[in-house]
Amino acid sequence: RARSPAPLPPAVGHAVLAINGLEVNGRFTADGRDVLEYLSSAANFPVAIRFGRPRLSSYEKLMLASMFHSLFAIGSQLSPEPGSSGIEMLETDTFKLHCYQTLTGIKFVVLADPRQAGIDSLLRKIYEIYSDFALKNPFYSLEMPIRCELFDQHLKLALEVAEKAGPFGPGL
Amino acid sequence: MTVHNLYLFDRNGVCLHYSEWNRKKQAGISKEEEYKLMYGMLFSIRSFVSKMSPLDMKDGFLAFQTSKYKLHYYETPTGLKVVMNTDLGVGNIRDVLHQIYSYIYVEYVVKNPLCSLNEPIQSELFCSKLDSFVRSLPFFSARAG
């Protein structure tokens, strides 16, 4: 089942994410053209513009990851029960954040639709993919960003399988 | 199923009320420090969640759970925050937290001229009403005490 996002009207704080299906990053389209120039030329019309919340920069991603790291630790410190782990699942009205910490302290975090099922098995699958295609890769140095093609391919596949399961689905 | 404890914060981060029912582990710091840590964590979670969200949010942060407990969060438009820790078997209790605000806080604190807002609640009536309300909740087990 293909799920296409419903087109959103522009709102305060939103940015242009795509024009005519072409991804936009900041001021420039994926093929390096200026967005405003592209829109001012009549030859490009009609245009379909997709609006949405601006994407996070890699700097912001790093900042949020370190923030979650401390929230995870405080969550276990404030526990009213002994022997609690950190935050495993965080729920908001628009998404659910699932976190899986391995015995060696690596955290895998997945943001999903609140109704999406099978995230726990997806997290374990991602750990498996990480072990098989990043850790066992002799060219991968530990605790550095993962740039392995096989890892990316298998990760994408696992996400597609989990996505197909959909809400209330059986999972992987 | 059981309720562990409940925190009530005002919009400036002052802990107005704290009570506990079945708490087996203390945080190992003074209560004042614990309130500050809890408020700080919620403050950061709120900003974290609003940055992470793929869509614009309405209610925002609702709850989180660890392997041992679940924290439920409810915030009124005036910035009053109700935080309840329960065990993992409890589902969405947003309406219960809203009832604590509207039936107990508003009735016995806001409408009480002797209770000053924005400082810890001294009213015994409020404390006993809150205690009996929480004890009567369907997920407050009888063995907990």
Which residues in chain B have their CB less than 8 angstroms from residue A52's CB? 54
Mean pLDDT of B119-132: 94
| Residue to test with chain B: of A90, A96, A115, A119, most B Cβ within 10 A | A90
Contact A81 B4 (CB under 8 A): yes
Contact A77 B27 (CB under 8 A): yes
- The amino acid sitting at A10 is P
B40-49 pLDDT, tens digit per residue, is 999 999 999 9
Treating both helix axes as pointing N-terminal to C-terminal, what angle do A58-77 and B31-52 enclose, rounded to 10 degrees?
150
Q: Does A110 touch chain B (CB under 8 A)?
A: no
pLDDT of residue A4: 54
Which residues in chain B have their CB less than 8 angstroms from residue A82's CB? 24-25, 68
Contact B59 A93 (CB under 8 A): yes
Give the residue from chain A lying closest to B60, CA to CA: A92
Min Cα separation A56/chain B (Å): 8
Positive or negative, the CA dihedral A112, A113, A119, A125 is: negative
Max Cα–Cα distance, chain A, nearest Å:
66
Mean pLDDT of B10-37: 93
Q: How confident is the model at residue A91 (pLDDT cuts 50, 70, 90)?
A: very high
pLDDT of residue A168: 59
**Number of cross-chain residue pairs from A and B with Cβ atoms under 8 Å apart:** 112
DSSP B7-52: EEE-TTS-EEEEEESS-----SS-HHHHHHHHHHHHHHHHHHHHHH
Coil/strand/helix, residue A7: coil
Write down the pTM of the prediction.
0.86
Q: How confident is the model at residue B140 (pLDDT cuts 50, 70, 90)?
A: confident
pLDDT of residue B83: 96
How much is the mean pLDDT over chain B?
92
Which residues in chain B have their CB less than 8 angstroms from residue A70's CB? 44
How far is residue A128 from each of residues A20, A131, A149, A164, measured CA to CA in Å? 37, 5, 16, 20
Which residues in chain B have their CB less than 8 angstroms from residue A94's CB? 53-58
Sheet bearing A107-112, strands edge to edge: A107-112, A96-101, A89-92, B61-65, B70-75, B81-86, B3-9, B15-20
- Give the one of B57, B62, B66 whose C-beta lies nearest to A79's C-beta: B66
Treating both helix axes as pointing N-terminal to C-terminal, what angle do A149-165 and A119-129 enclose, rounded to 10 degrees?
170
Min Cα separation A9/chain B (Å): 12
pLDDT of residue A22: 82
A103-161 pLDDT, tens digit per residue, is 999 999 999 999 998 899 999 999 999 999 999 999 999 888 899 999 999 999 999 99
A27-84 pLDDT, tens digit per residue, is 888 888 888 888 888 888 888 888 888 888 889 999 999 999 999 999 999 999 999 9
Q: Dihedral through CA A22, CA A28, CA A30, CA A33, nearest 10?
A: 90
Which helix (H) or strand (E) segment holds residue A63: the answer is helix A58-77
Q: How confident is the model at residue A3 (pLDDT cuts 50, 70, 90)?
A: low
pLDDT of residue A43: 84
Contact B56 A74 (CB under 8 A): no
